Chain A
Amino acid sequence: MMKKTLRALARNKNLLVGGIMVLIVVVMALFAGLIAPYPYNEAHLLDKMKPPCAAYPFGTDDFGRDMLSRVIYGAQPALRVALLAMIIEMGIGITLGLIAGYYGGVVDHAVTFVGDLTWCVPPIVLTMAVITMIGKGLDNVIIATALVSWAQYTRIVRAKTQALRGMAFVETAVAFNERDSAILLRYILPNVMPSIIVLASLSIPQTIMSTTALSFLGMGAQPPSPDWGLALSASFRFITTAPWLAVFPGLALVFTVFAFNLFGEGLRDMLDPRLKV
């Protein structure tokens, strides 16, 4: 069993390479305090705006803060946002999808309509509109992102539930007079799970990209957070004099998004081969 899994993993290069890259980001976030040479907020006032050198491999910013440390710590807000937004999206999206797909009728129409509403404005504009109402800040960005993107889960879960409803094992459960909640949670949900996992792993990089974009525009993380989007927007003033401030947070961001994309594609090929591109 173990051997078989390992062999499948070795063949699925996307999953393997993506998985290792994701692991690196996760380790960076979890053990930032141990890996980073300095606290992310420590100002070295004598070493402001130093280009990359031995003491500061990624250079320092206008407060003399070590960019390497800030880039490492920046994995924390990125992953926190992605995970929390995903959990809220899944909670709303899966529940509504199961209900709409299983019961059909008016409930289904209503859920689909509300879901369609969230598609009728580009996600970033809708997120910005929600932020106007609930205010700036990283936590609000999480809420806004989740409110805007839950419908992708609903769409898939609803379609799968509709298909599963007619299957013999579900009909049997209905005949045995099982409670609806039991049917949904014990018979249907486990069969929808692979699609949900694939969707989640592909939507994490999207979430990271859009939330860092909001931080970049000044609506998300606020100083002195080490958030990569915020670091990029702060670097913009010094683009002519200190380009290293823009390069490294961006590279970290690209690495993370690429890692999750690869990992997600690998997962999809493994769990849902029909969707393979």
Chain B
Amino acid sequence: MGRYCIKKLLQGLLMIFTVSVLVFLMLHMMPGDPVDLMMDRKVDASKKEAMRVQYGFDKPLPEQYFNWLGGILHGDFGTSIRMRQPVSKLFQARIPVTLELCGIAMLLELVIAVPLGLLSAYKKDSLFDRIVMSLSLFFAAIPSFWTAVMLILIFGVTLKWLPISGFGSPSNYVLPIAAMVMGWTASSIRMTKTEVLDVLREKYVLTAYAKGLPHRSVMVRHVLRNALILVTVVVFMSIPWLIGGAVIIENIFVIPGMGSLLTQAILNQDFAVVQACVLLIAVLTVICNLMSDIITAILDPRIRASMGGGE
């Protein structure tokens, strides 16, 4: 078990290191001079030279990389050129907003998707299953940005029940979270069902039936217990998707989170911000994958047995 965790941890670290190199190189892989990309072309040469020195572009690449990385490890993500503020300060204001949004959305998603997926698998091919599956297929086909626009149209413009943008009071949360939850819940229901059906095909389930256990107790004692593994997988697999979705939703509802920060930075070519955002999201995603692997291994002795002894 320890060996398995260490191996996964090392893999994750290697992954984060590679991503950090790639993110660092983003600015240098582009055609043209980094200073030209950051400043107006009309700025005179001496000022550009000063900037080159200020940002350390005159040093060799590996040295630049380690300076950059060292700064990040000390909480210095560079300075946003367009907003004239340290990126870390922008992050302080914006990360909690996105976390809150994604956290609530994920809770709702779990509460809706896991029971529905379990029931659909349990009552496979029943009327209930068919209704849930058709509805989830339909909702999975609706892009979240259109859901958002329609929700605004119905509840904000026509009925005037809820505000259509802004961020402050709890009523501001309702529409964005609803738009986020709908699409993912649909796909999570389908994922839950697939996983539960896989469990149902396992030999230990067959054994349980062969022992003469009734259907209900097989479900409760063998299938549901294994569904715990599934819930953790759903949680950790959803986090990257939630963040990806937050990018779109925050833009629509004008919510000052990470997603709208990233979009603005890309449209304005504000590289320090883009690099910091991508790196942060990548690290978070790698950690989530790692957690999901390790927790699955703790809960499922077979994975532990098959992976623990190395490859």
List chain A positions with a Cβ less than 8 A from chain B: 113, 116-117, 119-126, 128-129, 131-133, 205, 209, 212-213, 216-219, 229, 232, 235-236, 239-240, 243, 246-247, 250, 253-254, 257-258, 261-262, 265, 277
Contact = CB atoms under 8 A, between A and B. Distances in A.
Contacts of A128: 247, 262-263, 266
Closest 7 CB pairs of A and B: A122-B244, A258-B141, A250-B146, A122-B240, A124-B244, A257-B141, A121-B282
Interface of B: 14-15, 18-19, 22-23, 26, 29-30, 133, 137-138, 140-146, 149-150, 152-153, 157, 164, 190, 193-194, 197, 240-241, 243-245, 247-248, 251-252, 262-263, 266-267, 269, 271, 274, 277-278, 281-282, 285-286, 289
Contacts of A265: 137
Contacts of A229: 145
Tell me the dominant secondary structure on chain A's binding face.
Answer: helix
B29 to A, nearest CB: 6
A125 B247 contact: yes
24 contacts: A117-B15, A117-B22, A119-B289, A120-B289, A121-B282, A122-B285, A125-B243, A125-B278, A128-B247, A128-B266, A129-B278, A132-B266, A132-B271, A133-B26, A216-B248, A219-B266, A232-B145, A235-B149, A246-B149, A246-B150, A254-B146, A261-B140, A277-B193, A277-B197
A216 B113 CA distance: 28
Given A117-B19, A122-B281, A213 B26 contact: no
Nearest to A136: B267
A272 to B, nearest CB: 13
B26 A232 contact: no
A121 B247 CA distance: 13
Contacts of A212: 143
A219 B285 CA distance: 24
Contact of A254 (B19, B142, B244): B142
A218 B150 contact: no
A262 B286 contact: no
A125 B244 contact: yes
Given A132-B266, A246-B150, 20 more contacts: A113-B14, A117-B22, A120-B15, A121-B240, A124-B247, A125-B278, A132-B26, A133-B29, A213-B248, A216-B145, A217-B263, A218-B267, A219-B267, A232-B145, A232-B149, A246-B153, A247-B153, A254-B142, A265-B137, A277-B190
